[in-house]
Copies of this chain bind each other. A is one copy, B any other.
Amino acid sequence: MSKSYTLAELAKDVGGVVRGDATVRIRRVCGIEEAGPEDITWIAHEKYASRLRTSRAGAVVVDRHFGETPMPAILCDDPSFAMTKVLARFAPPIPQPAPGVHPTAVVAESAQLGHDVRIGPHVVIGERARIGDRCVLHAGVFVGDDTKLGADCVLWPGVVIREGCTLGQRVILHPNVTVGGDGFGYHFRDGVHHKIPQIGTVEIGDDVEVGSGSCIDRAKFGATRIGPGTKIDNLVQIAHNVEIGPGCILVAQCGIAGSTRLGRLVVLGGKIGVRDHISLGDGLRAGACSCISKDFPAGAVVNGIPAVDNQQYLREQAAVRRLPEWSAVLKDLVKRIERLESAADNP
């Protein structure tokens, strides 16, 4: 039942050339170690090359300049990119609700649905909401009043988008994502935290993807903004009035506090915290688990809690590793100086 392709067909897909038997039939993509005779694998880095020797893979995708391989190979310019196409070939179709609106869905009369939408069971769509052409709303999705979705969005089960938010085209929201929850804002007075109304909204650009369980809060006023092409992993927190530029990568469990701005192509490793009201320049890269508490310019590479320039961080960490021995050195120095001083006083 599973699909199969010849090595020649796959090579054509990825713009590569076959070395060895081009008629080998491939049924699966596998890691080097697990692959069997009907599987294709790949070598992204020269350092994994040695593993090929013992691999039972039927074929391998490698760089054009890669040496001999024990099995037929597809030679290409960029094996990792080639694999995205090979994976696409073998990708089973992603299940979606039947075309149209499931009878158990509750869609406001004033809502506008585009062409060829698929609205699953128990979906709820609010007043005046607009759902773009070919959008897929899986079971149980909630779209609030006046929220607008561009064409070709995919919303997985459990997604909640509150009122008045805007999504671009081809936005993917994974299960249990929340968009447009109230920002966390209070004014402390007379012993009480008075809720500050969060009257803004959320604007998400084209081609944004948001991972399972992540939260993007609505703005206090104006909008919380996610730039086009930005990719957000699971369980990430985006606070009110944050503005994230295009093409950013936010790995799982990051949190960005209120009103902070990220430029273009910023890359935040997993579990990073970013404080409120700061600005991170284009192309900044930050190491996993760091905590960024001040502005950094474009191109900065930072790490640590609090985050500092990565070179500084590496020097600090090297020093911290040696602190236990320094402790001894320091004590020894004190003694030796005392001895010298005492000798100097009593020559």
Contacts and interface: CB of A to CB of B under 8 A. Distances in A.
Most buried by B among A88, A94, A186, A197: A197
A138 B126 CA distance: 11
Contact of A124 (B78, B83, B122, B144): B122
B321 A320 contact: no
B157 A234 contact: no
B156 A160 contact: yes
Given A87-B199, A124-B122, A212 B215 contact: yes
A90 interface: yes
A115 interface: no
Contacts of A215: 176, 211-213, 234-235
Interface residues of A, number: 117
Contacts of A196: 83-84, 87
Contacts of A244: none
A195 interface: yes
Interface string A21-45: 0000000111100100000000000
A69 interface: no
Contacts of A122: 104, 106, 121-122, 124, 140
Contact of A257 (B126, B175, B270, B312): B270
Most buried by B among A145, A176, A326: A176
Interface stretch (A10-18, A49-57, A333-341): A333-341
Nearest to A236: B235
A270 B255 CA distance: 8
Most buried by B among A90, A184, A212, A247: A212
Interface string A275-296: 1000000000000110101000
A241 to B, nearest CB: 8
A213 B178 contact: yes
Interface string A136-176: 00111010110000000000111010111000000010111
Given A84-B196, A142-B157, A184-B211, A289 B270 contact: no
A273 interface: yes
Number of copies: 3
Contacts of A214: 213
A321 B333 contact: no
Most buried by B among A156, A239, A270, A306: A270
Closest 8 CB pairs of A and B: A319-B323, A289-B291, A315-B324, A160-B175, A181-B212, A178-B212, A142-B157, A124-B139
Interface of A: 28-31, 34, 78, 80-81, 83-84, 87-88, 90-92, 94-95, 102, 104, 106, 120-122, 124, 126-127, 138-140, 142, 144-145, 156-158, 160, 162-164, 172, 174-176, 178, 181-182, 184, 186-187, 189, 191-197, 199, 209, 211-215, 217, 220-222, 229, 231, 233-235, 237, 239, 247, 249, 251-253, 255, 257, 265, 270-271, 273, 275, 288-289, 291, 293, 305-306, 308, 312, 315-324, 326-327, 329-330, 333-334, 336-337, 340-341, 343-344
20 contacts: A104-B104, A124-B139, A124-B140, A172-B182, A174-B181, A182-B209, A184-B233, A184-B234, A184-B252, A192-B247, A193-B229, A193-B231, A213-B235, A237-B252, A251-B257, A255-B270, A271-B273, A289-B305, A319-B320, A336-B337
